[in-house]
Structure 1
Amino acid sequence: MLFVLVGLWTIGLLLLLTDLKRPTTRWISSIAFTGGSGGLSAVIHDDLNPLLSARGWMSEPATRLLGELETISSLVCYYGLPYTFLMFAIVYYPNYQKWTRRSLLPWLLLIPVLLSLAFEPRAGEPIPYRYVTCWAAPYIAGGVCLLLMALTKERNSYLKRSRMFTVMAAVPTLCFALFTLYLLPTFFGLYEWWRYNAWVIAFTLAVIIGSSFRYGFMGLQISIRNQRLDYTLRAITSGTAILNHAIKNDVGKIRLFSEKVKSDVQSGQSDPGELASDIDVIMNTSQHIYEMISRIQGQTQESELRLEPLRLGEVLSECIRALAPVMTGIEVSAYFACEGDMVGDRAQLAEVFTNVLTNAAEAMPGGGTLTVRLTETKRSRVVEIKDTGEGMSKRQLKQVFDPFYTTKHGKKLNFGLGLSYCYNIIQKHKGTMNIHSKPGQGTSVFIQFPKKKRLPIGRELV
């Protein structure tokens, strides 16, 4: 059971180091620590006591101390595991912040746990099983139901996958623990089945570690590529290169709308309202070029952020409208579940969304469906841009954020800087950007902005 102790406590500590202020992080870390306490109790009983006895080091004080430590560790596991699991499932549930009197829940749910200390266990039993099972079984079953309900209710595909990994890591282990720690001892007198928990915990650790490398787990992400990418961006992505890329996109939009206005006028089918709208797009695009030029302080510096209150929904709508001429044959589906109020650099976020939308349109030369969604959770605002194009291979996906890497070979004025620039800007906004794609199944881009880490207006970052 030593690996159970080390594995669970290590994961718990790493999760706390990622974000101690998040309630979900604190509670899931508590699950790891309470579960690991059971491993500590087993290590003391099975390994440490025999080892010290064989070497003649078991004095009476040492025996008493280790005995008390074993008992306390065992009780922490038996009593703490159901409680911390249910509390995690509650705070992890969508819209938990809207629950009334939620601040009382931890204290109310703690009452049955504390009352367990008033009951005497039967001879040879570590805890009063019949009483503890009466509250521990509903706690674990309730937590499992809440996690499964949260998974089925989640509509955002990126967040849904995160919840799926959480369910995979927590539900099998806690369900197995429900039987081995409580039900089997209470109703069948089988007290040693808890030793098989190690196999299920090994699966849990594999899920957490595996998902942490690829996608991240509860904020824990073991990332080597992103660190290399950050260094590469600072070394070779200069302000001039980024400006060139931005101007290329905007000049393309001006040309498309100018041709559209000319064609409408020549055909005599120009509508005054639509004509004025097209001219507004051209003027806004030229203003965007001017703003981007003014942000560049030299040929070797990156552009700075100029922060202002904005609404992501408005920015996305403007970008979709500006790209209308390149969306021929593409069905655009926009769903904004919130306005996306935040503080950010409007011009550079517009550039990010324009890049991603343009990539999505170019991935569907024969037409398709472009889905743009703006949703929010209690901690973040999520932008999802999804196309039904040809998708990318795993090899392409690994390099997609690398500066100067491009899959659009042969196209003029394509510098391969689009997504590396987008990644850089989103990072400056304290956000995250992830891309998921499979050949033949399209591509989804997820951009998250944290709610609690708003940058103050007036502060400029270089």
Structure 2
Amino acid sequence: MLFVWIALWAIAFFLLASDPKAQTVRRLSRVAFCGGAGAFAAVLDFQFIPYLQTNYEEGVGLIRALDSVKACGSLLSYYGVPYAFLLFALSFRPAALSRNWRKALPVILLLPIVGCLLFTPAYNETYPVTFKVVVWWAVPYIVYGTVHILVRRPRNLAFSPTYWVVCIAVLTPVLLSMVMNYVLPSFGHLRMWVYNTWFVGVGVAVFVIGLFTYGFMGVRVLIDRRRLDSTFRAVTSGTAILNHAIKNDAGKMRLFAEKMKAYAAQTNQAELLADAETVLSASLHMQEMLAKVHRRTEDLRLEVRELDPAELIRSTLASFEPRLEDIKLNLTLAEGWRCRLDSAQAGEALANVAANAIEAMKGRGELSVALIAGKRELTVEVRDTGPGMDKAQAAKALEPFYTTKGGAGLSFGLGLPYAYQVMRKHGGSLHLRSKPGVGTSVYMTFPKRSVKAVWMEGGNRNG
């Protein structure tokens, strides 16, 4: 039980520290903390208290205090795990509830716990809770929460690995613990919780592996997002300084080249005139390259207005028609939605993603673009049938100046990082899934609340 206690409380504090503002993360942290409280009570019962009783006979007061802590930990585990788990399930896959119901539900769900505390026998070591009573609300809480998560699967494939990691790391230990902590004790099989160590151990292993492979409850996404934000801020500061310095020097080059050109023309020196033209052309090229980098890395200021996202997608993709060649374009757009976006920035972000997809397919394949309306977000999916990327390439795709195009043309590897920043400024997110030989999918997700999305009657609502 020592392992279970340390592991669950470590996970609880890690989740809470990673994203304390996210309700789902906070509630899962409570599940882990309540489970760890039961393991802590067992550690006190089997290790600390017996050790004190054997070696410190004068420590009666401390032993009584630890007995009280043990009782509180045990009750917190038995009553807290089903309650916290159900609230976690309802926030992990949100149900359509009014604002008043969302506020009242946590209080309503507390009523069985309050009833057990008031009207069932007090805690004792043999029967910490009245199992034959508690089982009638604890099991339904856990079963309903599990079914709620399993039935309400995410439609967006970008979140599928994370979803299944949560199912294995959370649902499996909770369900097995339900059997050991409530069902079997209600039939007289007590202290079955000693077998929870194995279930929790598997859950912790899946949590750690999933955290670093796919992400867990958005934690890895949060870590990556902070890293990318920090990198982009550094790039923004660096390019601003570089832009200022080079622009001044390029201006001096242009000024003196103009003087050289005028002098060469006056003195009829053809070779000097050609050299001056070369210097002018080089200075102009430097300024164009610098301007392109600066536009992609400067701090974005949104100018939002109400628009039709489906129409924005159509107009953005229309400019690519001459470049499609043998690429088949498939559009599936949810119609009738209005939202507030910066049309220039959002259109440019989509254009960058689409351009990458078209270049990857080299004139042959399928480009599928969809606008999908979920319960809480509008998602633009751009999918190509290009060569795809391996995990290492996909992990670096959002980093500034990373490109797989070999430095051809004026590609600086800023298209996807720019699109990522545009999505962040809109309160949304950008996710990428890719597999070698299959293709790449990019998901641009706009939370409906952030962009004030409203559906107007008469359209195809879901796409």
TM-score range, shorter chain: 0.7 to 0.9
Match of 1:304 among 300, 307, 324: 300
Q: Kindly indicate whether the alpha-carbon contact (under 8 Å) linking 2:158 and 2:432 is maintained by their aligned counterparts in 1.
A: no
Q: Which runs of 5+ in 1 are unaligned?
A: 243-291, 456-462
User: Could you list the per-position Cα deviations for residues 108-152 of structure 1 after superposition, in whole angstroms to 9, with x for gaps in the alignment?
Assistant: 32222222221127983221111111221121111111111012x
2:87 maps to amino acid: M
| Equivalence for 1:263 | none
**SS of aligned partner of 2:152:** helix
How far apart, CA to CA, are the structure 1 residues paired with 2:326 and 2:81? 55
| Equivalence for 2:199 | 200
| Equivalence for 2:184 | 184
Correspondence 1:30 to 2:30: yes
Q: CA deviation at 1:99?
A: 8.7
> What are the residue-to-residue correspondences of 1:88-167 with 2, within 5 Å?
88-97=88-97, 101-117=101-117, 118-120=119-121, 124-151=126-153, 154-167=154-167
User: Could you list the per-position Cα deviations for residues 223-250 of structure 1 after superposition, in whole angstroms to 9, with x for gaps in the alignment?
Assistant: 77665554544444636999xxxxxxxx
1:138 maps to amino acid: P
1:142 maps to amino acid: Y
**SS of aligned partner of 2:108:** helix
Query: Which 10-residue stretch deviates more, 325-334 or 347-356?
Result: 325-334
| Equivalence for 2:358 | 361
Q: CA deviation at 1:88?
A: 1.8
Q: Kindly indicate whether the alpha-carbon contact (under 8 Å) linking 2:165 and 2:210 is maintained by their aligned counterparts in 1.
A: yes
How far apart, CA to CA, are the structure 2 residues paired with 1:120 and 1:203? 34
How far apart, CA to CA, are the structure 2 residues paired with 1:375 and 1:18? 29
Q: Kindly indicate whether the alpha-carbon contact (under 8 Å) linking 1:239 and 1:299 is maintained by their aligned counterparts in 2.
A: no
How far apart, CA to CA, are the structure 1 residues paired with 2:186 and 2:48? 28
Q: CA deviation at 1:70?
A: 0.6
Between Structure 1 and Structure 2, whose CA radius of gyration is higher? 2
1:163 maps to amino acid: Y
**SS of aligned partner of 1:170:** helix
Q: Kindly indicate whether the alpha-carbon contact (under 8 Å) linking 1:386 and 1:445 is maintained by their aligned counterparts in 2.
A: yes
**How many pairs align?**
402
How far apart, CA to CA, are the structure 2 residues paired with 1:410 and 1:446? 26
Q: Kindly indicate whether the alpha-carbon contact (under 8 Å) linking 1:120 and 1:127 is maintained by their aligned counterparts in 2.
A: yes
How far apart, CA to CA, are the structure 1 residues paired with 2:158 and 2:395? 18
Q: Kindly indicate whether the alpha-carbon contact (under 8 Å) linking 1:297 and 1:303 is maintained by their aligned counterparts in 2.
A: no
Q: 1:452 to 1:323 in 2, by over 3 A?
A: same
Q: CA deviation at 1:18?
A: 4.1
User: Could you list the per-position Cα deviations for residues 3-30 of structure 1 after superposition, in whole angstroms to 9, with x for gaps in the alignment?
Assistant: 3223222322333344444432332222
Q: 1:172 to 1:323 in 2, by over 3 A?
A: same
Q: 1:15 to 1:451 in 2, by over 3 A?
A: farther
Q: 1:322 to 1:301 in 2, by over 3 A?
A: closer
**SS of aligned partner of 1:355:** helix
How far apart, CA to CA, are the structure 2 residues paired with 1:325 and 1:449? 29
1:137 maps to amino acid: V
Query: Which 10-residue stretch deviates more, 21-30 or 330-339?
Result: 330-339
How far apart, CA to CA, are the structure 2 residues paired with 1:84 and 1:180? 18
How far apart, CA to CA, are the structure 2 residues paired with 1:334 and 1:201? 46
Query: Which 10-residue stretch deviates more, 163-172 or 117-126?
Result: 117-126
Q: CA deviation at 1:389?
A: 1.9
How far apart, CA to CA, are the structure 2 residues paired with 1:330 and 1:222? 32
Q: Kindly indicate whether the alpha-carbon contact (under 8 Å) linking 1:331 and 1:368 is maintained by their aligned counterparts in 2.
A: yes
TM-score by length of structure 1 reads 0.76
Q: CA deviation at 1:44?
A: 1.1
Q: 1:401 to 1:207 in 2, by over 3 A?
A: same
Q: Kindly indicate whether the alpha-carbon contact (under 8 Å) linking 1:212 and 1:220 is maintained by their aligned counterparts in 2.
A: yes
**SS of aligned partner of 2:366:** strand
Q: 1:299 to 1:192 in 2, by over 3 A?
A: closer
| Equivalence for 1:13 | 13
| Equivalence for 2:455 | none
Q: Which runs of 5+ in 2 are unaligned?
A: 244-287, 453-463
Cα RMSD after superposing both structures: 3.5
Q: 1:228 to 1:23 in 2, by over 3 A?
A: closer
Q: 1:43 to 1:358 in 2, by over 3 A?
A: same
Match of 1:328 among 315, 325, 330: 325
Q: Kindly indicate whether the alpha-carbon contact (under 8 Å) linking 2:235 and 2:297 is maintained by their aligned counterparts in 1.
A: no
Identity rate of aligned residues, in percent? 35
| Equivalence for 1:252 | none
How far apart, CA to CA, are the structure 2 residues paired with 1:22 and 1:231? 21
Q: Kindly indicate whether the alpha-carbon contact (under 8 Å) linking 1:156 and 1:375 is maintained by their aligned counterparts in 2.
A: no
Q: Kindly indicate whether the alpha-carbon contact (under 8 Å) linking 2:240 and 2:294 is maintained by their aligned counterparts in 1.
A: yes
Correspondence 1:314 to 2:318: no
Query: Which 10-residue stretch deviates more, 353-362 or 421-430?
Result: 421-430
1:206 maps to amino acid: A
| Equivalence for 2:417 | 420
Q: 1:203 to 1:408 in 2, by over 3 A?
A: same
Q: CA deviation at 1:357?
A: 0.8
